[in-house]
Structure 1
Amino acid sequence: MNSSCSGRRLRTMASSLSLPQTTISDILSRLPVKSLTRFKSVSKDWAYLTSTPAFVSDHLRRSSSDPSLIVRCYNTQSGFDSVILLITDPTQNFACRHLAVPLDEPLPLFPKIVGSIGGLVCLDVSPCYASDFVLWNPGTKQFKRLPFPLIASTRSNPIWLVFVGFGFDSFNNDYKLVRIVSFKRNDGLPFVRAEVYSWKEGFWKELEDTVCFDSAIICGGQDGVVVVDGSLNWVAIGLQRYADRKVVISFDMRREVFKTIPLPALTRIGNVKVMSYMGLLAIAVYPLVFAANGNNMNRFEFSVLSDCEDGRKHWTNVVLAENFSKSLVPMGTWRDRELMIKQMGDRDNHPKLFLYDPIDERTKRLPIDCVDLYLQCYSHVESLVSVDGRN
């Protein structure tokens, strides 16, 4: 047998033994991003396959069932001496590694995490006014500096407060960054303008409907926003008809409009953190100042906004803890089911971070050493989603 016949036979055998493309796609979609990045060099066909929107979507769907935690730890509110950690298997093997922020130039402050969704992490790299942002995919190591926002501070009209949120609009297959900017009027009341950046379109646009900010003003820190069912949600202090009450200001990412959601009376006393639970909007109410004696100050409540039989929505208590010995501070939810709670320490004991599952009432301690520092915690999944909006 000559060599040309042998070569043709080997190619025929290889072709007959090859797997269907749907099978290959199914196998590859179960692999980690690091492996897929390596396999892109195996063949042009594989490189093309793993870059298609359908494959990127399938891979994201599979990886979403096994989220990690991305944590920013910092010693002071100024943001110095900070680090970003990626923690896989938080309740089992607990693999932890440092993530290097992919910026070449020095920054005046360590980046703040705006949000993590679909494998993309949005970072605020500005020294003030949340005015400079980066989209970053830690899995693929891609990053992109976003164009500067439209709304800026001026000498005659200086910015007072800025709040931001980063989420996914599933209807339009678009990741969106929302920036809410407050200015002070002469009468002392806030005047609000808002804008949104579209990952798909690649530019900022100012939003016209900000009427709900006439009756409420957002409060809370940088991590005071949560994504729930296509909306971004912030806790706000009521004004005018909502005076002396707390409310939630919610931004519908599909329709790009704001609305106000009233909170139950119990939120008038204590801190309120907006959270997500099983796909529903939730709130945690916890002590303003911990007091072992009194007046319900050592009380932790977790409530969910659920549908009633009459079609209306109602706040329902899921967790209620009273008369506990140490203050409990909610940090967020992991896998949208387990509450991540920081138990404050005292002079002899460091704070502890643990997960609590309201369904089976199980508690799991997370072995994170730096819980006595400030923390930002977000669920994070690996993905192939491009920072450039091509998916």
Structure 2
Amino acid sequence: MNSCSGRRPITMASLSSLPQTTISDILSRLPVKSLIRFKSVSKHWADLTSNPVFIATHLRRSSPDPNLLIRRYHSQSGSDHGIWLITDPTLNFGTQLLRAPMEESLVSFPKIVGSVDGLVCLDISPCYASDFVMWNPGTKHFKHLPLPLITSSRDNPIWMVFLGFGFDSFNNDYKLVRIVSFRGNDESPFLRVEVYSWREGVWKEIEERFELAQLCGGKDGMVVDGSLNWVAIGLQRFSDRKVVVSFDMGREVFKTVPLPPVTRSGNVVVVSYMGLLAVAVYPLIFAASGNHMNRFEFWVLSDCEDGMKRWANLVVVENFSKSLVPVGTWRDRELVFKYTGVRDREHQSSIFLFDPVDQRTRRLAIDCVDFCFESFSYVESLVPVNCTR
């Protein structure tokens, strides 16, 4: 007889006697890695963890505490690329180098278009943003998307391509938006727009266009409350300022949102802040005499009592360093800055978090000083790369 005493170990028999709702609740709180392993326990568990309701419940419980996904690259040599997952950024963080799908066969290292609900959209094309992969790093599944409809030709060459990836809550769909700019005969650009639907698995060209603005910069669209947003140069009545071009993913229509006048003399990054559209305005590295700013400003498009939306200035920092560049937000409430200056005692790391409410700055002990990088919020999920309708 075994003389050892203690709790009776939980066996499969005792676990299976629990109510199914209890089992589902327990499993929905576990990390993806464990759930992938548990799929082999029984067919019932495999079916349960593949159920859309369970996947949505697991995602909802994971979403409040996202990690940081960083694409790091060397801008001069073009070498030392990599995608890093940083867990617990402000605590005892861990870093993990992720292996991108088809990495060995790619001409250039993938660019991250966006990260939403555990799905990461990668641009794997050498030019014209014409080849894409849908990837779930948690499950390690990926899907090579069909080629876009809009292509470049000798008679009609592509000038620039702008991208955006986000979730359409109205149709329960993930969408990749591709805005293709061609140079017209009169040297003015004209646009064609197409959308890839995760639910349908196909591209479609849409007739909807936006007017009075010209997209600028290389930043992909930022997801804010069901819309994708790009910085643009205003035209005609908006010619005295920059604007945001916003694409409603549910209705698949564009609108133009004028930005505060201060954006004329500074760089602008569109971000999401507490579910609202926001812009970070920071100094130009090179600026013409008399047309520059030396401060950082943070503006949020807020709802007013009269039902209108207006820009509110949350933060102004005078004599702001040109070595600090905002690149996004983490947890939808802290700005992520990269440091582009020379390493010194004051700046031992190149990633900083800034809370606009209490204006507290936190430094992350991650060495990226000699590299360029882009940051994205990332949460592990079981969302499949193929729609399982």
User: Which amino acid is 2:318 matched to?
Assistant: E
Relative to structure 1, is the Cα distance of residues 270 and 378 closer, same or farther in structure 2, using a 3 angstrom cutoff? same
* Superposition deviation, residue 244 in structure 1: 3.3
Q: Distance in 2 between matches of 1:205 and 1:72?
A: 29
> Equivalent residues in 2 for 1:80-159 (5 A)?
80-103=79-102, 106-159=105-158
Structure 2 equivalent of residue 176 of structure 1: 175
Q: Distance in 1 between matches of 2:357 and 2:153?
A: 51
Relative to structure 1, is the Cα distance of residues 307 and 104 closer, same or farther in structure 2, using a 3 angstrom cutoff? closer
Name the SS of the counterpart of 1:288 in structure 2.
coil
> Equivalent residues in 2 for 1:213-362 (5 A)?
214-221=211-218, 223-289=219-285, 297-325=293-321, 327-346=323-342, 348=344, 352-362=350-360
Relative to structure 1, is the Cα distance of residues 150 and 104 closer, same or farther in structure 2, using a 3 angstrom cutoff? same
Name the SS of the counterpart of 2:72 in structure 1.
strand
Name the SS of the counterpart of 1:71 in structure 2.
strand
Tell me the percent identity.
70
Q: Distance in 2 between matches of 1:19 and 1:382?
A: 27
Name the SS of the counterpart of 1:171 in structure 2.
coil
* Superposition deviation, residue 351 in structure 1: 6.1
Q: Distance in 2 between matches of 1:154 and 1:59?
A: 45
Could you report, residue by residue, the CA deviation over 1:239-294 in whole angstroms, capped at 9, with x for unpaired residues? 22222321000000000111111111111101011011000000011011279x99
Unpaired stretches in structure 2, ≥5 consecutive residues? 1-11
* Superposition deviation, residue 53 in structure 1: 0.5
Could you report, residue by residue, the CA deviation over 1:343-382 in whole angstroms, capped at 9, with x for unpaired residues? 3424756663110112232221111101442111000000
Relative to structure 1, is the Cα distance of residues 300 and 359 closer, same or farther in structure 2, using a 3 angstrom cutoff? same
Q: Distance in 2 between matches of 1:366 and 1:35?
A: 28
Name the SS of the counterpart of 2:332 in structure 1.
coil
Structure 1 equivalent of residue 37 of structure 2: 38
* Superposition deviation, residue 14 in structure 1: 4.5
The list of structure 1 runs, each at least 4 consecutive aligned residues, that deviate by more than 4 angstroms after superposition, is 13-17, 293-296, 347-351
Could you report, residue by residue, the CA deviation over 1:87-121 in whole angstroms, capped at 9, with x for unpaired residues? 00000011001000121651111000000001000
Relative to structure 1, is the Cα distance of residues 14 and 344 closer, same or farther in structure 2, using a 3 angstrom cutoff? closer
Name the SS of the counterpart of 1:24 in structure 2.
helix
Unpaired stretches in structure 1, ≥5 consecutive residues? 1-12
Q: Distance in 2 between matches of 1:17 and 1:36?
A: 16
Answer whether contact 1:197 1:204 (CA < 8 A) is retained: yes
* Superposition deviation, residue 158 in structure 1: 0.2
Q: How many residues align?
A: 375
